[in-house]
Amino acid sequence: MPTTVEIPKEKWTGKVREVTLGATPSNGGTRGREVVVGGEATLPFLHFEGAIPHPPVVAVEILDRYPDDWAAPLKEVWGDVMKDPVAWARKAEELGAELIMLKLTLDESGAADGARAADVVRAVLGATTLPLIVRGPGQAEADNAMLVPVCEKAAGERIAVGLCEDKNYRTIVAAAMANNHLVIASSPIDVNLAKQLNILISDMRMPMERVLMDPTTGALGYGIEYTYSVMERLRLAALSGDGMTQQPMICFVGEESWRQKESRVGQGVPAEWGDWHHRGVIWETVTAVALLEAGADIVTVRHPKTLELVQSTIQKLMAS
Amino acid sequence: MPLSGLEIYKLLPKTNCKECGFPTCLAFAMKLAAKQAELSACPYVSEEAKQALAAAAAPPIRLVTLGTERNFAVGNETVLFRHEKTFYHEPGLALRVKDTDPALEEKAALVDGFSVERVGVNLVMNALAIENASGDAGTFAGAVAKARAKTKLPFILMSDNPDTMKAALEKEGGMKPLIYAASDGNVEAMAALAKAHGASLAVKAETLDGLAALTEKATAAGAEDLVLDPMPRHLAGALAAFTQLRRLALKKNFRPLGYPIIAFAGDGANSPEEETIAAAQAICKYAGIIVLDHFDAADVYALMTLRQNIYTDPQKPIQVSPGLYEINSPKPGDPLMVTTNFSLTYFSVAGEVEGAGKPAWLLVTDSEGMSVLTAWAAGKFDAEVIAKAVKNFQVESKINHHKIIIPGLVATISGDLEEELPGWEVLVGPREAVDIPAYLKLWQ
């Protein structure tokens, strides 16, 4: 007698919020397209169980200055475009990036020049049709000094700005709210802290349709398992109906992965580590893939080959 | 799934003879359910009841062991998500070679010897899959014999023909291989071979119904250690099928599918990178054995690292013992550095100091296995903790200076530390371990 196996499905009561990055002219911006993420009503890529209306997307990370401290394989592959954020953004778009993540840095003197930051953001917006993610240097005062003028100068473009942390979110959230942008809420690998920050941001009357969540990324071999599990827990909470965990998640994969020894060092490492350039790409790719399996909606990468590999992986995972 | 007291009671003689030491059969059943009594205490229990109770106590996913000298076990997992408890048995990584491959012996030796140390653990490959691509029994058996001369790793023998499989099993050396695979046409014959050779047996079918029917036939024919291949056609299909199998075993206690899963990462991949990606997914999502078609050190190292990460117990980060470690035989005048006892932190720092060829003292504090920044945030790596470690491990008796290098990430505690350690100079080291060699060159 043939056995009939019933496919086990979960009945989820919640789903992830849809968040739209970028605004086209009809919505008050100048972007060539808008990118919607989120909306999942099931765990990552389980099409047999629930709707996954939007594929995760890949953003390419660029800097507002030449990244002296980046690993040699990255400098080799990008070449001279890294000297100019405008050329760099154009090249990233040409290579198929779905979003650009522009990281703003301090001046050589250590000063946070808000006017310059705003000009760079405007120039990059002019160079690409893609929606933009803009991050500050990651120090509370400098972030405020740079991101407020950026938000003003890019008003209406629906860029995503960050990072908003528990000690430093009010100014950025207010600036984003006033100029129709999104914010990235960042918390240190902890479900409750992530949730709490979302509540604080929501209390400022920021619509939750304009909040992305950064759980803090650990790279492969350097804490990825913590990020992986926190993301699984956040997504399970979201699907179980917890409204303050239902934000799409963004993972800064390139930045974390290329910071590690495996990616940064080519000499004096064990032969069993294999080819340096390939290792860097694979380290970044495997980090991205594992976190996509845990629920990432946006991953940011640095290497063009990673962009290609992760995008084709997403395509395959979205084919039900 | 464990039985309730009442369910166990139904299986007992119900005579209330008291010989087990309990007043009634029901009381005994309750104790059995609570695991406070042994079934053997009942002299009258039937064989049928024994079997039923043993079956109920069996894990929902069978533990299957491949190999003898270099064995590995997979299965016996209890959760869908690692944060619920932990994942226990790391998936075995195998390389597939064809019996027609002129480099077969070379590859066997490569897989056998490949090993990378990471946070104090040697990461290795676990098996060699040999495929009967020639279609010829003699060639297959010859290839198996040649490979066996190079490695004691368990084999995954791949042929659909029971006669060919038999020929290979005779050359395999009795090291508990996995027979791949039983399907509709050959399941009885393959199961008989598995039973005769002490081998485990993979069953393959494109539907879960088909798989369940096969495992029932295989177990009826005497093969107990089974492995499932749901033959997914693409990445999304593999994720769906593997998730469904894990859920059926754990949430429904569905015995016919309570076995580990085998994944062929190269099937459907258009490049070595795509294969690595498929293997990465299989590590995260429920494979017990992962077969690769290409071997590239960087890819395999990345996959082994992911496997190590995902299978780390979330409750117990890998740690080293706190203490004062000597690196490159330091003298009393050499630098003293301090860090936490999270394994990755310790090995990153120690590795860099070793690599730099500089002698140094490394003081490792008890920070409950947390990394520098996490420990600092949790108050487990502050001035007080460090000062206590300096005293407890009698640092002053080993060195003749009063300088301590703290990680750059916790530069903010240097003031506090100078207060805790009067007369000491606190130096702020690099933020990342990778920058330690350059820093030590400047140290005087």
Q: What is the DSSP string of B279-339?
A: HHHHHHTT-SEEEES---HHHHHHHHHHHHHHTS-TTS--B---EEEEES---TTS-EEEE
Q: What residues contact residue B73 under an 8 Å CB cut-off, 6+ apart?
A: B63, B64, B65, B66, B89
Two tokens, residue B90? 């790391």
Cα distances from B93 to residues A271, B66, B181, B303, in angstroms, run: 20, 12, 18, 9
* pLDDT reported for residue B387: 95
For the segment A271-277, the average pLDDT, to the nearest whole number, is 95
User: pLDDT band at residue B343, thresholds of 50, 70 and 90?
Assistant: confident
DSSP A104: P
Q: Does B215 contact A at CB distance below 8 Å?
A: no
* pLDDT reported for residue A1: 47
Distance of alpha carbon B203 from its chain centroid, rounded? 22
Q: Nearest C-alpha of chain A: how many angstroms from B404?
A: 25
Closest residue to B302, CB basis, from A7, A47, A220:
A220
pLDDT, one tens digit per residue, over A217-245 is: 999 998 899 999 999 999 999 999 999 99
Binding-face residues of B in 256-285 toward A, CB within 8 A: 256-257, 273-274, 276-277, 280-281, 283-285
Confidence (pTM) = 0.89
Contacting residues of A for B301, CB less than 8 Å apart: 262, 272-274, 279
- Judged by CB atoms closer than 8 Å, whether chains meet at A316 and B234 is answered as yes
pLDDT, one tens digit per residue, over B356-391 is: 888 999 999 999 888 898 899 889 999 999 999 999
The secondary structure element, H or E, covering residue B66 is: strand B64-66
B322-333: burial string, b at 16+ Cβ within 10 Å, e else:
bebbebeebeee
For the segment A56-70, the average pLDDT, to the nearest whole number, is 97
Q: What residues contact residue A258 under an 8 Å CB cut-off, 6+ apart?
A: A70, A71, A74, A264, A280, A283, A284, A302, A303
CA distance A19 to A174: 18
B57, pLDDT greater than 80: no
**Closest chain A CA to residue B243:** A46
Two tokens, residue B163? 């006669």
CA distance A86 to A74: 18
B412, pLDDT greater than 60: yes
Contacting residues of A for B244, CB less than 8 Å apart: 7-8, 48
* pLDDT reported for residue B347: 84
pLDDT, one tens digit per residue, over A83-139 is: 999 999 999 999 999 999 999 999 989 899 999 999 999 999 999 999 999 999 988
List, in sequence order, every residue forming a beta bridge with A296; answer none if it has no partner. Answer: A249
* pLDDT reported for residue B38: 82
Closest residue to A290, CB basis, from B83, B306, B433:
B306
B262-264 vs B360-364, strand pairing mode: unpaired
Q: 3-class SS at A133?
A: strand
CB B241 within 8 A of CB B208: yes
- Closest C-alpha among B271, B282, B235, B307 to residue A313: B235
- Judged by CB atoms closer than 8 Å, whether chains meet at A261 and B114 is answered as no
What is the helix, strand, coil percentage profile of chain B, to 5?
Answer: 45, 15, 40
DSSP A99: E
CA distance B290 to A20: 38
A286, pLDDT greater than 90: yes
Q: How many CB atoms lie within 10 A of CB A317?
A: 24
User: pLDDT band at residue B443, thresholds of 50, 70 and 90?
Assistant: confident
Cα angle, residue B358 at apex, residues B357 and B363 outer, rounded to 5°: 125
**Closest chain A CA to residue B272:** A282
- Closest C-alpha among A222, A246, A219 to residue A234: A246
Q: Nearest C-alpha of chain B: how many angstroms from A242?
A: 18
Q: List the single range of A151-160, B227-236, B348-357, B403-412 with lowest mean pLDDT.
A: B348-357
Contacting residues of B for A233, CB less than 8 Å apart: 81, 83
Two tokens, residue A308? 């290609």
Average pLDDT, chain A: 96
Cα distances from B292 to residues B100, B111, B263, in angstroms, run: 17, 11, 9
- Closest C-alpha among B109, B97, B204 to residue B156: B97
The secondary structure element, H or E, covering residue A298 is: strand A296-301
For the segment A168-181, the average pLDDT, to the nearest whole number, is 97
* pLDDT reported for residue B316: 78
Q: List the single range of A263-267, B235-239, B315-319, B402-406 with lowest mean pLDDT.
A: B315-319
Q: List the single range of A68-72, A136-140, A237-241, B3-7 with lowest mean pLDDT.
A: B3-7
Residue B203: phi and psi, rounded to 5, are -115, 140
Please state whether the peptide bond connecting residue A130 to the residue before it is cis, i.e. omega within 30 degrees of 0.
no
Q: 3-class SS at A186?
A: strand
User: Most B CBs within 10 Å: which of A12, A193, A226, A272, as the mutation test of the B interface?
Assistant: A272
* pLDDT reported for residue B51: 81
Closest residue to A3, CB basis, from B82, B216, B252:
B216
Torsion of CA A254, A216, B86, B128, to 10 degrees: 0
Closest residue to A317, CB basis, from B116, B235, B299:
B235
Q: Nearest C-alpha of chain B: how many angstroms from A315?
A: 10
Closest residue to A265, CB basis, from B234, B257, B434:
B434
B193-206: burial string, b at 16+ Cβ within 10 Å, e else:
bbbebebbbbbbbe
- Closest C-alpha among A208, A211, A286, A301 to residue A251: A301
Two tokens, residue B118? 């990471």
Q: Is A107 exposed, middle or buried (0-12, 13-18, 19+ CB in 10 A)?
A: exposed
Looking at residue B326, its amino acid is E
Q: Does B85 contact A at CB distance below 8 Å?
A: no
Q: What residues contact residue B49 under an 8 Å CB cut-off, 6+ apart?
A: B11, B12, B39
Percent of chain A whose predicted confidence (pLDDT) is above 90:
92
Percent of chain B whose predicted confidence (pLDDT) is above 70:
99
DSSP string of B232-244, one letter each residue: -SSHHHHHHHHHH
* pLDDT reported for residue B2: 65
Q: Which residue has the tokens 């166990």?
A: B8
* pLDDT reported for residue B444: 59
CA distance B149 to B165: 19
B1, pLDDT greater than 70: no
Q: Nearest C-alpha of chain A: how many angstroms from B386?
A: 24
Q: Nearest C-alpha of chain A: how many angstroms from B53?
A: 24
Q: How many CB atoms lie within 10 A of CB B47?
A: 7
- Closest C-alpha among A48, A285, A45 to residue B275: A285
Contacting residues of A for B297, CB less than 8 Å apart: 271-275
pLDDT, one tens digit per residue, over A23-42 is: 999 999 999 999 999 999 99
Say how many CB pairs under 8 Å bridge A and B. Answer: 150
**Closest chain A CA to residue B354:** A268
Cα angle, residue B413 at apex, residues B408 and B415 outer, rounded to 5°: 115
Two tokens, residue A115? 């006017």
Q: Which residue has the tokens 């050396």?
A: B173
Q: Nearest C-alpha of chain A: how many angstroms from B378?
A: 12
* pLDDT reported for residue A3: 64
Q: Nearest C-alpha of chain A: how many angstroms from B311?
A: 9
DSSP B433: G
Average pLDDT, chain B: 93
**Sign of the C-alpha dihedral, residues B158, B160, B164, B169?**
positive
Looking at residue A21, its amino acid is L
